[in-house]
Copies of this chain bind each other. A is one copy, B any other.
Amino acid sequence: MTTKRPKETRARPDDWLTIGEVSARTGTAVSALRFYEELGLIASERDDRNQRRYPRHMLRRVALVSVAKRIGIPLQDLRDAFADVPLDRPPSHQEWQRASRGWKRRLEERRKTIERLEAELTGCIGCGCLSMKACALLNPGDELAEDGTGPRRL
C-alpha cells in the first residue's frame, strides 16, 4: 500500500498537490473537488498524464468552500464574494484581504441573525407566550393580532 503518486515532471514536486492529497488535507471528497472545479470555484492544472495538479494556495479556496457549506451559505454566494480573487495564481495580499473582508461581513451578518433568534427564543422561553402574539421576530409579517386572548410578554 505504498503511494502510487506518479513521477513528478515539475521542478519542485511539493508545490503541486494531487487531487487525492487535496482531498485528504481538506476533508473534501474527490468528487466534490471535481464538482467545485466545474462550478468555477476552484481550478487546477494538468500534468503530462492529464491528472489535476493543485497549487498550494488552492487549499484555501477549498477550505472556504467547505466553510460556506458548513454554515449553509450557498456556493453561488461564495462565488460572488470571491469573484475578484484570481484562480490561476496565488492571490495578492490585497486581493485576498478585500475578498476576505467581504466574506467576514457575510459571516457577521449570519451570526447576528442567529443571535437575534437566540434572544427571541429566550424571550419566548421566559414568557412562555404560547400564542406567539408577542413574538414579532419569530413571526415576521404578522402584525400583533388584536383580540385580547392569549398570553403576553411582560
Contacts and interface: CB of A to CB of B under 8 A. Distances in A.
Q: Main SS of chain A's interface residues? A: helix
Interface stretch (A1-9, A40-48, A113-121): A113-121
Q: How many copies does the complex hold?
A: 2
A103 B26 CA distance: 29
A101 to B, nearest CB: 7
A125 to B, nearest CB: 5
A142 interface: yes
Contacts of A57: 130-132
10 contacts: A14-B145, A26-B140, A57-B132, A60-B135, A60-B139, A63-B140, A71-B72, A93-B128, A97-B125, A107-B117
Interface of A: 14, 24-27, 56-57, 59-60, 63-64, 66-67, 70-73, 90-91, 93, 96-97, 100-101, 103-104, 107-108, 110-111, 113-115, 117-118, 121-122, 124-125, 128, 130-132, 135, 138-142, 145, 147, 150
